[in-house]
Amino acid sequence: MSQPTPADTHRAYAAIFSGVVDGVAPDGWDAPAPVDGWAARDVVGHLVEWLPALLSSGSDVTLPPGPDAAEDPAAAWAHHRDAVQALLEDPRTPDRTLTNPHLGALPVDQAVDRFYSSDVLLHSWDLARATGQQVDLGEERCAAMLAGMEPLDEMLRQSGQYGPKVDVPADASAQDRLMGFIGRDPGFGG
């Protein structure tokens, strides 16, 4: 079986996030999210803001601006999702380079795959829990992601991107163990 391409991975993870976005009630966008100080709309805002900034600061890629996530999170997400997918499906993208002082130089499609697509998956859980939904991120996927992150524990904590680990039972699901590892309480909103 062939390895999924960055476009394949983004399509799959974005579909999970889109399903959660579609399930948000009109009055649900201001609900508190599992990330301290964020509301549900902030989860979308984070995803639609940080990748364009990273790409424009370290490559020749400029994603087209879309709706404001503060005003219309669902429209902002749909626009951004489609722009990222188009970028990853563009046959020229693997030949474009992102240079960043923290990441070094790497092909744009690999940078999006390694740093952004996984963020979309993880924040699917945040948005679901903020808005009273359940989401299945896939046990195998969560176990693999957790196995890849655990050796980087100290570096990830120092980055400020993840809070302190939340203890979960050793026999908890891979999804709950992953959420605990990145500093989320698996019982939030559940």
* pTM of the shown model: 0.94
Nearest to 97 by CA among 54, 66, 50: 54
Enter the tokens of residue 48.
């639609």
**All domains in the chain, ordered by first residue:** 6-135 (1.20.120.450), 137-190 (no CATH)
100: part of which helix (H) or strand (E)? strand 97-100
Written as tens digits, the pLDDT of the chain (190 aa) is: 689 999 999 999 999 999 999 999 999 999 999 998 999 999 999 999 999 999 999 999 999 999 999 999 999 999 999 999 999 999 999 999 999 888 889 999 999 999 999 999 999 999 999 999 999 999 999 999 999 988 888 877 777 778 889 999 999 999 999 999 999 999 997 6
> Phi and psi dihedrals of 41, rounded to 5?
-60, -30
